[in-house]
Structures are given as structure tokens and as C-alpha cells.
Chain A
Amino acid sequence: SQQGEEDPQALSIQEGENATMNCSYKTSINNLQWYRQNSGRGLVHLILIRSNEREKHSGRLRVTLDTSKKSSSLLITASRAADTASYFCATDARGAQKLVFGQGTRLTINP
């Protein structure tokens, strides 16, 4: 059961620009998490935002959460070539005891 749906599926921007990815989900959550995956590698945890939080920052990352719309966004500012990767949102639904991942957004940063 895929709860998180990312949008867009793919995004290509120039280095230095900002990248925004969106995630929508269906049920009530305890928290929502964002992960990065470089090609052929495991996922790396980026940031966790709890259901009672609206915005969270970590370095060049900014995550927002709107529980009324059941959506989240991940903003990467001043993108770099090293940010090229797939980004996944994952939801910790209430009572689920496990994360459910979306399909991911493939981000390409062009030099």
C-alpha cells in the first residue's frame, strides 16, 4: 500500500536554483520523513517532521507539512550537482508501526 505520492516524478534544474518536491498522503500520520537515494545505493534519512509541526529546517533543506491538506513539501535551496538523487517521502501512519514510502522524485541538477 503506497501512501505517499510524490510530485513531480522527475525534476531537472540548473545548479544554484531551488528545487521543490511535493508529497501527498491519505491517512492520519504521526510523522512524515524525507529520504535521499543516490543511484544504486541505500536511502539516507534527511529530515523528520511531526504531525504537530508545520515547518522544519536542516541546512539547505526546508520541509513543510500541512495536515489539513495531507501534504508536505521539500525545498532544497541553492542546489548543487551533488544533490542529484531520488527523493522519497515516507509516512508513519498512526498504528502502523512501519513507514510507507512513495514512488519518489528523481532530481537532476545540471551544471
Chain B
Amino acid sequence: DGGITQSPKYLFRKEGQNVTLSCEQNLNHDAMYWYRQDPGQGLRLIYYSQIVNDFQKGDIAEGYSVSREKKESFPLTVTSAQKNPTAFYLCASSQGPGGGYTFGSGTRLTVV
């Protein structure tokens, strides 16, 4: 079945650590996106990529980094510079601009 897979489902980070969230899709979609969701809130865009080896900052990119070396993969690194990283992180993909998004099931990150 085609879809988008996020791992791990739950992740715990100590203060000062970098952690990487995985996002893989087998839908042959060109575009991929990372969103952050805080409790009871909407989605805020962190980074997005329309094509391999290219990506753009979203509204809240500070403290995060991404790479897009393969079409299927768009990992997100939450760096120690992100002071409030506890949140639910959602990855999505689409065929291109303007289309519907397919979302992964999310990664819940908690700082301990």
C-alpha cells in the first residue's frame, strides 16, 4: 500500500540534544512538508521541499533543519537551538503545489 511513514511514534529528548524525525513516502510525490502542532492548535509549517535537493523555510524554521537527498525521504532534525520542542510533528506529501496532502501518523516529541 502506498503511504507516508513517520518514525518513531514517540520520542524523548534530553536538554541540549539533537534528534531526527524520519519521514518516508512511497507515493512518488514530488513535494514534502513538515508541520508542528501544539495541543489544541492548528498546524504551523516548519520546512517544505518541492523537489529533491531543494527546500524552503516555513513560518517557524528556527531551531530545525532538514535535508532532501532522496525523493522518498525528508528527515527533520530538531536541534538544541529549538527551545520549546515538545509538540506533535506531522509530515505530509503531495504530488505538487495545490494538490491534496497525504499525512503521516505523526511523531510526538517530549523534552525530558
Q: Assess whether A98 is in contact with B33, with CB atoms less than 8 Å apart.
A: yes
Pair count A-B, CB < 8 A: 58
Asked if B42 contacts A99 (CB within 8 A), the reply is no
Across-interface contacts of A98 in B (CB, < 8 A): 33, 45, 48, 58, 97
Interface residues, chain A, CB within 8 Å of chain B? 1-2, 30-31, 33, 35, 40-45, 48, 88, 90, 92, 96-104, 106
Task: List chain B positions with a Cβ less than 8 A from chain A.
Answer: 6, 33, 35, 40-45, 48, 50, 58-59, 88, 90, 92, 97-106, 108
Q: A97-B97, A103-B42 are in contact. Are A1 and B35 (CB under 8 A)?
A: no
Q: A1-B59, A40-B106 are in contact. Are A101 and B98 (CB under 8 A)?
A: no
Docked Cα-Cα span, A104 to B2, in Å, equals 27
A104 in contact with B42 (CB, 8 Å): yes
A90 to B101, CA, bound (A): 10
**Chain A residues with Cβ under 8 A from B104's Cβ?**
42
- In whole angstroms, what is the CA distance A28 to B41 when docked? 24
Which residue of A41, A43, A96 has the most chain B CB atoms within 10 A of its CB atom?
A: A43
